[in-house]
Amino acid sequence: MKNGRHRQFARYVAPLCITRGKGFRLADFDPADTAGLKSADKAEAKEALARGVEWLTEQQDMLYAQDHWAVLLVFQAMDAAGKDSTIKHVTSGINPQGCSVTSFKQPSSEELDHDYLWRYMRNVPARGQIGIFNRSYYEEVLVVKVHQELLQRQKLHPSLVTRDIWKERYADIVNYERYLVRNGVLVLKFFLHLSRGEQKRRFLERLDNPAKNWKFSTADVAERAHWDEYQQAYEEAIRHTATPQAPWYVIPADNKWFTRLAVATAIVEAIGGLQLHYPVMGPAARRDLARARAQLAAGRRAGR
């Protein structure tokens, strides 16, 4: 996997990784960017993606065997940016027992009776597992910020809802992620950065193609009217929560083939940093194995 071409892709992806949010501007990132790769490179990108997925599958096996680390992949995006299909591709080879995907929709009344991180904390992957959040606690500073009536539904005492509430939430999220990292959870956050024009094109395709009609929701068009507010909310969220321990990746999302390759490459790079390997047996464990082997062999001779 770590061949020259992968290293080249990794170099393309490196600038998309935001480890310090200060001064971050979404306008500096082009949703149509393909890091110099042309449509003609699509086939190669596809092949590289397949190799990345294969490598990830092997890594997941070691992650599980070692049982030290967990990996949390957070996906956030505007509608039709390709969260679902990116998740599908990236996880395509992974042993289902080692991976979970949780989609977060509008909170239930039970969830609203708890602090806002409650429902997310319950779904953080266990050691040895890869957990994917399709939307996440970031919705609490995105959709809830854009539609402040949602904040009213969270049953907070008015004394707690001050003008600092978003800053407080950013700080709490940063602290929470630091806590996760200190407990062995690798936290990577992906913003699939789609342009407004490409969203429109994809919505129209969903309307015009009967096989894609089911993907369309009239609510999506209503949300589109808040496009600028969402972009601003994303920019502010990334500015306040991109840290070296839990970086954001701003992934150009107008070209799906590039989105998938960029996400897979970023994951390969980050998991590669864990230097995973199968557990090495100590002398006592090796003696136990030798004894078990001898027992089995003796049983075979005795016809058992």
Nearer to ligand ATP, 134 or 259 (CB): 134
- Which two tokens mark 88? 């599908």
Q: Which does 150 bind (CB under 5 to 8 A by kind): Mg ion, ligand ATP, none?
A: ligand ATP
Is 108 within 8 Å of 138 (Cβ atoms)? no
Nearer to ligand ATP, 105 or 157 (CB): 105
Q: How many residues bind Mg ion (CB under 5 A)?
A: 1
**Of 250, 258, 253, which is closest to residue 191 (Cα–Cα)?**
250
| Binding segment (CB under 5 A) for Mg ion, from list 49-57, 61-69, 79-87, 186-194 | 79-87
Is 178 within 8 Å of 62 (Cβ atoms)? no
**Of 131, 143, 285, 291, which is closest to residue 226 (Cα–Cα)?**
143
Is 19 within 8 Å of 247 (Cβ atoms)? yes
Nearer to ligand ATP, 68 or 153 (CB): 153
CA distance 19 to 185: 17
| Binding segment (CB under 6 A) for ligand ATP, from list 6-14, 97-105, 124-132, 156-164 | 97-105
- Could you tell me the CA-to-CA distances from 83 to 8, 34, 78 in Å, in that order? 24, 18, 9
Q: Is 148 in the site for ligand ATP (CB under 6 A)?
A: no
Q: Is 79 in the site for Mg ion (CB under 5 A)?
A: yes
Q: Is 85 in the site for ligand ATP (CB under 6 A)?
A: no
CA distance 55 to 92: 12
Q: Which of 17, 101, 143, 274 binds ligand ATP (CB under 6 A)?
A: 143
Q: Which does 144 bind (CB under 5 to 8 A by kind): Mg ion, ligand ATP, none?
A: ligand ATP
Q: Is 266 in the site for ligand ATP (CB under 6 A)?
A: no
Q: At what angle do helices 227-241 and 165-182 cross, to 10 degrees?
A: 50
Positions that interact with Mg ion (CB under 5 A): 79
Positions that interact with ligand ATP (CB under 6 A): 79, 84, 103-107, 134-135, 139-140, 143-144, 150, 217
